[in-house]
Amino acid sequence: MYKILEKRQLNSQVTWMTLDAPFIARKVQPGQFVIIRIDEKGERIPLTVADFNREKGTVTIIFQAAGFTTKKLAQMNVGDSILDCVGPLGMPTEIDNPKKAIVVGGGVGCAIAYPQAKALHNMGVETTVIAGFRNKDIVILEEEMRNVSDNYFITTDDGSYGQKGFVTEVLKALLEKDNYDLVIAIGPIPMMKFVAKTTEPFGVRTIVSLNPIMIDGTGMCGGCRVSVGGEIKFACVDGPDFDGHKVDFDELMRRNSFYREEEAHACRLEESING
């Protein structure tokens, strides 16, 4: 059992939760994830480790209450326990000691971008963070991101906070002005696709963290396969980080939409049961 030690709402849909998980905290690295199961009848869901403390033996997950399990998890409180938390899974991010880096986060993807920015900052890398959201109401981790970056930019689609527009506009302006060794982009697939397209003409190494359909987390089911540089990779064991200039984003978007109707039906069923 893994006890919930801390819980706070980052916005109306996104929850920060810290778990007592000393064996995972001992080994986890930025970029890796865990698979949790709330109870013996629950489904297994992958969640990236947003932060960890080796001394305290804790790991932090940040998630959006979107499906049945995440909504149920969001209703749990400090002192409650979840049944399973397996990890760390996946490969750590390969940072390779850059001098200047940009971390781009989109929406809830900022939760995954945070440990990357923190790791870079702690290495002494000059770190710029660009965080993009639809509007001011869903902004998360602003203070945390500012604390681990030398430069911090917020964009909103509607201009309600920060700079109006998309993260790629700020990114392009920065790349035109200065030289960077690394860009890490984490967020919605279309955002990562266009970040990679933006950096490619500048020849800047670009890492993206992919979120395909994932079931077992060991590479056996094949559900998380992605095409990278014309080769089949499995995000749960080969990733989730990949070279953004080699990912077939269009194929990834098609695969992620396979079960859209079933997901919508499940949500309607859940609402009818609870309503």
Of 36, 86, 23, residue with least CA distance to 63? 36
- E-strand stretches of 124-265: 126-133, 151-156, 163-164, 182-186, 205-209, 225-228, 231-234, 241-243
Concatenated DSSP letters for 75-132?
T--TT-EESEEEEEESPPP-----SEEEEEEEGGGHHHHHHHHHHHHHTT-EEEEEEE
C-alpha–C-alpha distance, residues 147 and 145, integer Å: 5
Residue 87 Ramachandran class (φ > 0 left, ψ -120 to 50 alpha, else beta)? left
Averaged pLDDT score across all residues of the chain: 88
- 138-145: average pLDDT: 92
Is 3's pLDDT higher than 90? yes
Is 269's pLDDT higher than 50? no
Of 109, 181, 121, residue with least CA distance to 150? 121
Question: Could you report the per-residue pLDDT of 27-48, keeping only the tens digit for each?
Answer: 999 888 999 999 888 888 888 8
- 14-35: average pLDDT: 92
Listed in order, the ranges of the chain carrying CATH 3.40.50.80 are: 100-256
User: For the chain, how many residues are written?
Assistant: 275
Retrieve residue 122's tokens. Answer: 């702690």
C-alpha–C-alpha distance, residues 120 and 101, integer Å: 8
Say if residues 19 and 59 touch (Cβ distance below 8 Å). yes
- 120-136: average pLDDT: 94
Query: Residue 226 — pLDDT band, cuts 50, 70, 90?
Result: confident
CATH number, span 2-89:
2.40.30.10
State percent of the chain over pLDDT 90.
59
Cα-to-chain-centroid distance, residue 65 = 14
Residue 247's SS3 state is strand
- 164-173: average pLDDT: 95
Give the per-residue pLDDT at 259. 58
Residues 6+ apart with CB under 8 A from 8: 15, 16
Instruction: Spell out the long-range contacts of 166-174 with Cβ–Cβ below 8 A and sequence spacing 24 or more.
Output: 166/132, 166/191, 166/194, 167/104, 167/106, 167/130, 167/131, 167/132, 167/191, 167/195, 168/194, 168/195, 168/198, 170/130, 171/102, 171/104, 171/130, 171/195, 171/198, 171/199, 172/198, 174/102, 174/128, 174/130
Give the per-residue pLDDT at 274. 47
Query: Residue 224 — pLDDT band, cuts 50, 70, 90?
Result: confident
CATH number, span 100-256:
3.40.50.80
Give the per-residue pLDDT at 273. 42
Listed in order, the ranges of the chain carrying CATH 2.40.30.10 are: 2-89
Angle between helices 249-256 and 189-199 in degrees, nearest 10: 180
C-alpha–C-alpha distance, residues 46 and 61, integer Å: 10
Give the per-residue pLDDT at 239. 83
